[in-house]
Every structure is written in structure tokens, then in C-alpha cells.
Structure 1
Amino acid sequence: MNWEEAVAFALSLPGTEMSTSYGAPAVKANGHTILSPGREAGSFCLHIDRDTVEMLMETDPDNWWQTPHYAGWPAVLVRHDSADTDRVRLMIERARDQAASRPRPRPRPVKKG
């Protein structure tokens, strides 16, 4: 599943929208990022709880991984060529459910100047 396919699937879920995060395209649910392109070629970033990140990297490190940039954060990289697209879809759904259950972030103040 490449970035475009992941985005298309995520946007088919209720309450998701295309937005931006740190100036890059992102899929959000309830104002929280669930997918972003990531910093590494051939992967996209799934924003999900740390326990799930650890479980995914332990059970399938060839497809779910982190660089030092993501270590310790609730985010995991997903390789585009992952053979287990059903699991990828399931984890995107889980990330959406987690985001939907969290309070919506407060709007940031607009800088004047």
C-alpha cells in the first residue's frame, strides 16, 4: 500500500479529512493526524499509540519500523511494499478510532505581525 492508497483508504473512514501537519499533507480525524508521508522514501507514517507501535515493530519489523526521529513517539513508519495490506488497513482504522476518541485540539492563536 503506497501513500496514495493509504490516504484513499483513510479518507473513506468516517470523520477523516485531508489536512496538513508541519506543512506536509496529512490525514486527520477529530483534528489529530493519523497519516503523514513520513521522512523516509518508500514509507509513510502512521500516528498511533506507543503500545501498538512497539507491538507492530516486534511482530513485523520488516514492514513497521522507526528511525531515531520517531523513537519514543506515537508514530511508526509503514513500508509501501508491505504484503499485509489487511493489517495496514486495520491499523489505519485503529489510529482513526483513537484520534476520534481524544478531545479535539484547541486552535492555535493567530500570530499578528
Structure 2
Amino acid sequence: MSLDWDSVTAFALALPDTGISTSYGSPAVKIVSNGRAFIHTGREAGSFVLAIDQDTKEMLIETDPDSFWQTPHYHGWPGLLVRYGSSDPERVHAMIERAHDWAAAKPEVKPRKAKQ
């Protein structure tokens, strides 16, 4: 099974309470009830961004750096890059489910105040 943005999005949208949206101007899948994105396209070719807790992020980068990685932009942020060319798409799907559950458990996103 080969991964691409369309297959990743289809998998994520099959999870409960999800919808297509944007995050930082990029296509994303969010939790509808709280507005939290858990996957989005990002800026790095050949990868998508998975929003996930810091402990899981560190474990994934350590155990499978060929699939899960980060650039300096993502250091200290609960998100990491996932290569579409991962040799373990089942693990990628499991991590999308975990990211979904993590995002669904968070409170609703509060609107930002307009800059004056």
C-alpha cells in the first residue's frame, strides 16, 4: 500500500468527528467539535505533518527515522513529519488514529484576537 495525501486524508476522514479544513493555510483534517487539526500537508515535499504528543513524537523519530522526522521548524512543537514513502503504512495509520484521539481530547480552539 502506497501513501499519498489523498489516501492519508481518506483514512483520517473515516475516523469519528472529522472534517476537511485548513491549518496555517494548508489542507488539513480537523476534529469538527473542537477545531483541532491532527494532519496537514505542511511545507516539506514527500511528507505530511502529524500533530501528536511530544513523547510519542520522540519515540517515533527514535524508532523509525526513515518514516518519522522533523526539521528545525518542528523542534519543541507537538508535531512531526511523516514520509509518504514509509515502509510501514499500517504504523502510519495507527499513528494517525493516535493523533486523532489526542486532538479530540483537547479543548476547543479559541479564536485569536485580531491584531490592531
Tell me the TM-score range normalised by the shorter chain.
over 0.9
* TM-score (norm: length of structure 1): 0.92
Number of residue pairs matched by the alignment: 112
Name stretches of at least 5 consecutive residues in structure 1 with no aligned partner. Answer: none
Q: Which runs of 4+ in 1 moved over 6 A?
A: none
Name stretches of at least 5 consecutive residues in structure 2 with no aligned partner. Answer: none
1:70 paired with 2:97, answer: no
The percentage of counterpart residues that share the same residue type is 60
Partner of 1:25: 27
1:96 paired with 2:100, answer: yes
Displacement, 1:108?
Answer: 3.6
Map 1:1-113; keep pairs closer than 5 Å.
1-29=3-31, 30-109=34-113
Q: What residue identity is the alignment partner of 1:71? A: H
- The change in CA–CA distance for 1:73 and 1:111 in structure 2 (over 3 A counts) is closer
Displacement, 1:28?
Answer: 0.6
Displacement, 1:3?
Answer: 1.3
Displacement, 1:46?
Answer: 0.4
How far apart, CA to CA, are the structure 2 residues paired with 1:102 and 1:77?
21
